[in-house]
Structure 1
Amino acid sequence: MTAAKKTAISRADILPPTEYAAKRAELRKAVVARKRKRRMEVGPVATFYFECFETMLQQVQEMLHIEKGGEAQIEDELRAYNPLIPQGSELTATVMFEIDDPVRRARFLARLGGVENTAFIKLDGEVVKGLPEADQDRTNAEGKASSVQFIHFPFTPQQVALFREQDRQVILGFSHPEYSHMAVLPEEIRAELAGDFA
């Protein structure tokens, strides 16, 4: 199994702190370049960051580097980030609603309850419905959405085959009444994400 197809970070994948510190700038540069091809804006304030083994490994290494929690921290980080690695028949994304003004952001999120259940990918008449990460509710009892959402897009084999076709139009969006925006994935992003499938 190649690194691109790994579906879980193990303890063996974690670099020792001194080794990571020595390679940090180089590793971050490589992941930032890859992340550029995995980032998609939808509407004025939402950005999808499609995750993979490498982006999650980098996130774990960064958390360990910054927080310096040692061995005790590793299991918590793996438990938090492994679920966001695509499992071969899905795409996974961290979605951020980015509004700098805290008052405007709070007002906007108060109207966005349930947005995590309205994400979709459309291709050739097929709709792949996004499923929120089940770790916790991302909309509170008052109907306020979190500014960060974690969404899985489970594909059928037929949908995977369509997604892999070069120059295939792929639309990413939300059908929420307060945020019904869509965007067409550029070919560079479609091609990069096609590599997430087994």
Structure 2
Amino acid sequence: MRPIDRSEILPLGDYEQIRARFRARVIEEKRPRRVKLGEQISAVFENRDSVLLQIQEMLRTERITTESGIKHEMDTYNELVPGPNELSLTLFVEIPDAVVRDRMLIELKGLEGSVSVEIDGARAPATSDPKGVMADRTTAVHYFKVKLTDEQSAAIRGKTAKVAVRVDHPRYYARAELGPASISKLAEDLS
């Protein structure tokens, strides 16, 4: 999957005109890409559209119009675009209560090393940038890449694979199998 190109980024005024339709389409596209992992964690498999939406929304929210600012957002979020034989997912620790969330983020220290995608029973570790790891806690949002073998990629593209997302942390275990709609989206990403 190729990264978002500068020519795809709309000026703020142009984006406002299409924003409602574009957001609605991408949000609908993300539904089969979202995986609930227990009560407090979920993950979303990213693709070009989800990344483009994130870039446009950041530019809109922060009112960024300079080329250097646009380039920074593109460089940051293009990291989420999966490469060949790769899946990209964003993991969210979703706890509304700030006190409970803060305590849980401390208890989940090391979470970034506990996530994997299981393809036909074999685990592919989800990896993230080690620069984002904190010594005393984890964060509420994690960005992961999952490298697949040629065989795993082919099985997902052929929609024959059994695929699950796992969290194997001493304080939190969850495993969620993907349904056919989710696997179809991953197959599109790998094609």
- Give TM-score scaled by structure 2 length: 0.94
Q: For each residue in 1:12-43, what CA deviation from the matched residue of structure 2 results, as whole angstroms up to 9, or x when unmatched?
A: 11112221111111111111110112111111
- Residue 88 (structure 1) shift: 2.2
Q: How far 1:167 sits from its partner (Å)?
A: 5.1
1: CA distance between counterparts of 2:19 and 2:12? Answer: 10
* Correspondence 1:19 to 2:14: yes
- Structure 2 counterpart of 1:45, which letter? Q
Distance in 1 separating the partners of 2:162 and 2:64: 44
Aligned to 1:81: 77
Quote how far apart the aligned CAs of 1:155 are. Answer: 0.4
**Partner of residue 160, structure 1:** 153
Q: Secondary structure at the match of 1:32?
A: helix
Say if 1:171 and 1:185, in contact at 8 Å, map to a contact too.
Answer: yes
The two structures have a TM-score, normalised by structure 1, of 0.91
Q: Look up the SS of the partner of 2:153 in the other structure.
A: helix
Q: Distance in 2 between matches of 1:37 and 1:124?
A: 19
- Unaligned 5+ segments in structure 1 are none
Moved more, 161-170 or 105-114: 161-170
Figure out how many residues of one structure are paired with residues of the other and give that number: 190
Deviation digits for residues 112-170 of structure 1, max 9, x if unmatched? 11111111111223211111134x323x222x110111111110101111223335321
Instruction: Supply the AA of the counterpart residue of 2:13.
Output: T
Q: Tell me, yes or no, if the aligned pair for 1:133 and 1:152 is still in contact at 8 Å.
A: no
Q: Unaligned stretches of 5+ in structure 2? A: none
SS in 1 for 2:123: strand
> Which residue does 1:106 correspond to in 2?
102
Of 179, 184, 188, which residue of structure 2 is paired with 1:186?
179
Indicate the RMSD between aligned Cα atoms, in angstroms.
1.4
